[in-house]
Structure 1
């Protein structure tokens, strides 16, 4: 069977009529006369081999076939818009733009702080920071919608370049908690404590569960939360103690919390992702340098020797 020969202007006329509901509305959007839209629709129906509209009491009513076809037109149009957006980003990157995609852990607190220091030195540069789930960050870097990505990745992906970083753990305590007298917190210090933790599927929670099971430690009470901000606020109100990554602990801690190094390494890896076949621009390299410096400062923990609690 011969495939329909579709012309862009015909499909555009159909799309505009479906969205406006009238030929006159579509004509105004397309800046052409109404008979021109009608002609384009008739040509499209001829090429497709089925009717798109029925006229009922002076109104155009889409046929079931038109609604099915419109769904595909919308899907394709979204893809075309995505291509235009990709072309724009590539063009802007060539003249100094920078787009960064990041998982919430970094994108909500840490990277904005880095950008606040970085952006004033590049006043004429367009910089974008988007926050997505790690899966979307990886996809953005693979398709080069982003110059840099920060994500939690389980395995190496040969479609991107990646460099891994590890975040150690801090114990977050209310200021007047007895454990603030210690310079370092151990697993046994969590025994009989009210412990605020993440949901069971969270990597940090899984690591903590494994440590407590291995050491036969039993907290007095569990409080589950989804976000580090929630955990920090509960600790600040004296509801318990929590184990957090240093970035979240410092971002949400404030003056009402005390931070202590946690002896056991529960931290999770995250990766700095860059496109496999696209050399980094000078601007991207400068930002990576600023990121490294900021990460070193944000995760530095005093490592004074501490006596093991009795």
Structure 2
């Protein structure tokens, strides 16, 4: 025997009659005439091969078979409604997850600000932000442990797609430092200054060391730190001056220190990384758009952009 051929409208009519107890109530719910509901029920009974209702003193009474069938209809209908709701939430970006790995330069300064703007529009979405050195970020993206990564990348890697961004360099000064009188700070101005800088292997530190060697400039002392926020805090406390990127400088607060463009520009590139041949979710694409917008706003208003 062939399995019954069920039509959605027939099953819906049956469901409404079971819930309302009358054909007229089901007709009102379905916005059709009562004869239309009766016809759908008869078609469903024919397709099922058993009776669903009997008339007892003018009332429709479900048969035992109808009650068994209704339990399954409710179970399946609940599942369908759940699927519809899930599809809607996926469409509206309310579900899913996003894992982002970032080097400290972005993970501890700029990206939290982007997420603070982005996350409220996605209240049911799990978003993770992990901060690692660039080598670990790259590994996370390649192995797809992260959906997105932000890292300094020396060469292109055919296992990842990358979009490059440029960060200019700024000189951070204590508010009352004599060099704040200058519109721009040059390498020669660092002579005999207390310089707060990154560890020797850092790309910005390497570029700064090369520049100072070329110019014959000798700061009076070096104070080495691991993180940009450490450098900015020490500058604000008057321990010296630092060459940093605008995102780190602004994260600390421009009211507590003075920012000046630094020449020549020692800016460095970082990359937005995504797994190669792996389609991005709508959530990831939305976050990338929010990041680009925030980055453009932050860097266009930087003193280095003026």
Q: TM-score range by the shorter chain?
A: 0.5 to 0.7
Corresponding residue number in structure 1 for 2:97: 97
Structure 1 partner of 2:16? none
**What do residues 218-272 of structure 1 show as CA deviations (whole Å, max 9, x unaligned)?**
2222222222222122211212111011111111245221111112221221110
Q: Describe the shift of the 1:196–1:152 C-alpha distance in structure 2 as closer, same or farther (beyond 3 A).
A: same
Structure 1 position 138, deviation (Å): 1.2
List 4+ stretches of structure 1 deviating above 6 A: none
Answering whether residue 289 of structure 2 is matched by residue 289 of structure 1, we say: yes
Give the equivalent residue in structure 2 for 1:47.
none
User: Is the partner of 2:185 in helix, strand or coil?
Assistant: coil
Specify every segment of 5 or more residues in structure 1 that has no aligned partner in the other structure, as ranges.
Answer: 1-91, 306-310
Deviation of 1:196 after TM superposition, in Å, equals 1.3
Which structure 2 residues correspond to residues 1-310 of structure 1 after superposition, within 5 A? 96-300=96-300, 301-302=302-303
Are the structure 2 counterparts of residues 95 and 225 from structure 1 closer, same or farther at C-alpha, using a change threshold of 3 Å?
closer
Tell me the distance in 2 between the aligned counterparts of 1:183 and 1:269: 25
Residues 275 and 94 from structure 1, CA distance in 2 versus in 1: closer, same or farther, beyond 3 angstroms?
farther
Q: 1: CA distance between counterparts of 2:115 and 2:94?
A: 20
Q: Provide the aligned length of Structure 1 versus Structure 2.
A: 214
TM-score (norm 2): 0.66
Partners of 2:94 and 2:125 within 8 A in 1: no
Aligned partner of residue 217 in structure 1, secondary structure = coil
Q: Partner of 1:10 in structure 2?
A: none
Q: Deviations over 1:87-144 (max 9, x none)?
A: xxxxx99953211111111111211110000011112222111112212211211122
Question: Are the equivalent residues in 1 in contact too, given 2:193–2:221 (CA < 8 A)?
Answer: yes
Cα offsets for 1:150-194 (capped at 9, x unmatched): 111111110010111121111000001111111211111111211
How many angstroms apart in 2 are the aligned matches of 1:186 and 1:158?
39
* Structure index of larger Rg: 2
Q: SS at 1:158's partner residue?
A: coil
Do the aligned residues in 1 keep the contact of 2:197 with 2:222 (CA within 8 Å)? yes
Distance 2:125 2:202 in 1: 37
Rounded to whole Å, the distance in 2 between the matches of 1:147 and 1:214 is: 42
Say if 1:173 and 1:257, in contact at 8 Å, map to a contact too. yes
- Residues in 2 aligned to 1:282 and 1:250: alpha-carbon distance in whole angstroms: 30
Structure 2 CA distance for aligned equivalents of residues 195 and 95 of structure 1:
48
> With structure 1 as the length reference, what TM-score do the two structures score?
0.65
C-alpha separation between the residues in 1 aligned to 2:141 and 2:166? 21
Q: Distance in 1 between matches of 2:188 and 2:265?
A: 14
